[in-house]
Structure 1
C-alpha cells in the first residue's frame, strides 16, 4: 500500500536530493577574494551582492533531477516489494557515484584556483547525500518489515 511508512522515508530522501539545488556543495574564496559557491546547476560568484552564474553544470543538473525523482518512482512500485528493495540499493549506489562526481568536479574547480578542498570549503549540499542514504536505508528496513509480515500472514492461512 502507498500509505506505508516507507513512503515517507522515500519522500524525505527525494526532498534531500532536490535540496542540492538550494544548497551549495562547496564554498570557497578565489584568488581575487570573491566568495564563490558550487551548486549542481553551476558555479556562482557574488557581484554587488547578487549571485552571478559563471559556469553551468548541465550534466550534474540532469543527473540530480533523475537521482532525486527516482525515490518518487520507487514509491509507486509498492505492489512489488522485491523490486523496491533492488531499486533502493541501486539508488544508494547512484548516490555514492554522485558524491564521487561532486567531489572530483569540486576538486578540479578548486585546483584551478590553487586552493584545496578542506573542511572549511564543504557546503551543506555535501551533507544532504548521506542524509538521503539514511532515509533510503530506513525505507529499506520498513519494506523488509512489510515483506516479513506478509510472509508470516501467508503461513497462517
Structure 2
C-alpha cells in the first residue's frame, strides 16, 4: 500500500495551512522513545487499521498552532511542558482528519480517521501492531514557518 511522498505531504499541508511547509524524508520515530507523543488511527471500510500516524509533540503543537494562528511562544510552551492546549489539539486532529484524503489519493484502499490518541500509551493493540510491523512506512521532518521542525510518520499494515 503506497504512502505519500515528501512533496505530496508538503503540498497538502501547505494548502491546508496557507504557508509553505517543507517536508524531507527522515528516520522513523521509535515507538517507545520520548519522541513518540501521539498516534492517529485510520480505519478502512471494514473497520480495520488501514494506516497509522505517529508524531512528535512538536508536530501536535506546531501544526495545531499554525492552523489556529496561535503565537509561536505559546506553541513552544506546549512543547516544553508536553501539554497541548485544547484548541491546538482540536486543530491538530482536524489536520490529521484532512490528511486522510492524502492517504486515499495515493492508495485505492479508502481510509478515514477513527481516532487521534492524546496519549500514545492509550493506543489500541491493533494500531500498535501496525506500527511495530508495517508493510511500509514513511517518515517526514517538517519545517513549519514561524514555528520550527517537527516529525510525522505514516505506517501501512
Same fold, judged at TM 0.5 (above): no
More strand by percentage: 2
More helix by percentage: 1
- Larger C-alpha radius of gyration, 1 or 2? 1
Taking structure 1 as the reference length, what is the TM-score of the superposition?
0.30
